[in-house]
Chains A and B, each alone.
Chain A
Amino acid sequence: MSILLCFLSFLVLGGRYAEATESLTVSAAMSLKNAFEDIGRVFEAKHRGVKVYFNFAGSGTLSRQIESGAPVDVFASASVRYMDNLERKGLIIKASRRNFAGNSIVLIVPSTSRLQVSSILGLLNAGVRRIAIGNPGTVPAGEYAKEVLKHFELWGKLRDKLIFAGNVRQVLDYVARGEVDAGMVYASDAGTRPDDVKIAAEVPAESHSAVVYPAAVVKGTGSKALAGEFIDMVTSENGQKILKNDGFKPLGKERP
């Protein structure tokens, strides 16, 4: 009985808590998780009574959700392609669109790995049996990884060893848990689990298209002003500092 009472009061109090706040829903690329959560806290501290909800997933998945009418206020993608697609379909407010960060791709191995992999070509090493990358169909990091493998003419050779993950943090997790021998993630991701993974090689930037993160206010949002302010915070000095600390590359030029 007392358990039931606890449960009920939890429901009631929980409901009241949710009611008292204005909220903002931000769909953001999985790689932005830590940085955006930090920025979200700063944003909430600045805007009393505002609660920011994050929806982190592969950018392709997120853009598909927005196309299907998901109630989202801000979209932050790890690839310009998905943002271009939404812009073409008139689903974002064009004037609100800003590029706010860059990133680089790294090849990682489990920290306990004894494999001799020090470059992309090291993936041909027979000891490398499974390589995780994001699913190129929905995960920008996987798309970049595919470009890299194609650039080094490894895509066909390694095809059977590739494990596709649903987002870039899943790639990171597969490597961290040692389920796979290597994986390709953003430099910023590798930095979030330094104890579990190590960077085997930096991937040459010319082997893939530039990693650029755009953000925009989603059309049909009920909180257009607040959504714009969130993007302002991401591009602000403070936001850029958080992103830089988390391993993202600044994109000074793109800021208006």
Chain B
Amino acid sequence: MSAINDATLFSLRLSLQVATVATVLVMLVGISVAYILARKDFRGRVLLDILITLPLVLPPTVTGYYLVILFGRNGFIGRFFYDLTGWSIMFTWYAAVLASFVVALPLMIKTARAAIESVDKNLINASYSLGHSELETVFKVILPLSRKGIIAGVVLSFARALGEFGATLMIAGNIPGRTDTMPLAIYTLANSGEWSTANFMVLFLTLISGFFLYITNRVGMRAV
């Protein structure tokens, strides 16, 4: 296959790297937030839920717009960071991670939250009455019992992170050899008429996404 060249391999590696890092972060943050939303009652819970879910329904370009406003070199958070360190996340692969993270997070939270909420309350209460702390209860009872939903969330998040385009384009640019993940590289190749080079990546993304759907289905089936 002549379609596989250095640039293609770079995009492939970068995409996997971005999606993996983003998914790890999504797991850490997503499961914690899902637990809090499912089990705690506090002021602003609904607002938090809406804010975190927004990227799921917003056009990715709008999410990207907000990210630039927040994290750009002159952004609300970005400016502070730049003044302090002289470094800006814009146009780096970290920006691609950030975009993927924000866009994939709601998928993780939605699925994990539903799974945590469906854990039998009696089992949780039993754990507490047997003297387990909250942390022990989370790790020994709640998470093991909701693992199928969590696995499904992780797989969906990874797939979403791998396919992120709009927000990534806005905050990470589309810098050949640096921030051109597969979806961005495909766009550039199609724009410049190099369809044959794009073929490999298109095929790869199609196959891997199909594989992920298969996994989530399998996990889902066993969960029922």
Q: Which residues of A contact B (CB under 8 A)?
A: 60-61, 64, 67, 130, 135, 137-138, 163-166, 177-179
Contact = CB atoms under 8 A, between A and B. Distances in A.
Contacts of B35: none
B81 to A, nearest CB: 13
B173 A163 contact: yes
Given A61-B191, A64-B193, A177 B174 contact: no
16 contacts: A61-B191, A64-B192, A67-B193, A130-B91, A135-B176, A163-B173, A163-B175, A164-B173, A164-B174, A164-B176, A177-B74, A178-B74, A179-B72, A179-B74, A179-B88, A179-B91
Contact of A177 (B73, B173, B176, B193): B73
Which A-B residue pairs are the 8 nearest by beta carbons? A179-B73, A178-B74, A179-B90, A178-B73, A163-B91, A61-B191, A64-B193, A137-B192
Nearest to A181: B73
Contacts, number: 36
Contacts of B176: 135, 164
Given A177-B72, A179-B74, 4 more contacts: A67-B193, A163-B175, A165-B173, A179-B88
Nearest to A67: B193
A235 to B, nearest CB: 29
Interface string B188-206: 1001110000000000000
Nearest to A112: B74
A140 to B, nearest CB: 13
A4 B84 CA distance: 49
Contacts of A163: 91, 173, 175
A64 B91 contact: no
A138 B174 CA distance: 13
Nearest to B180: A164
A130 B88 CA distance: 11
A45 B194 CA distance: 41
Contacts of B173: 163-165
A239 B74 CA distance: 38
A196 to B, nearest CB: 11
A60 B74 CA distance: 31
User: Most B CB atoms within 10 A — which of A61, A67, A163, A179?
Assistant: A179
A130 B92 CA distance: 11
Interface in B76-91: 88, 90-91
Contacts of B72: 177, 179
A137 B91 CA distance: 19
Interface in B151-177: 173-176
Contacts of B90: 179
Nearest to A58: B191
Interface in B81-129: 88, 90-91
Contacts of A166: 174
Contacts of A64: 191-193
Nearest to B82: A178
A61 B173 CA distance: 17
A64 to B, nearest CB: 5
A178 B175 CA distance: 18
A163 B175 CA distance: 6
Nearest to B189: A137
Contacts of A164: 173-176
A177 B90 CA distance: 12
A64 B195 CA distance: 12
Contacts of A61: 191
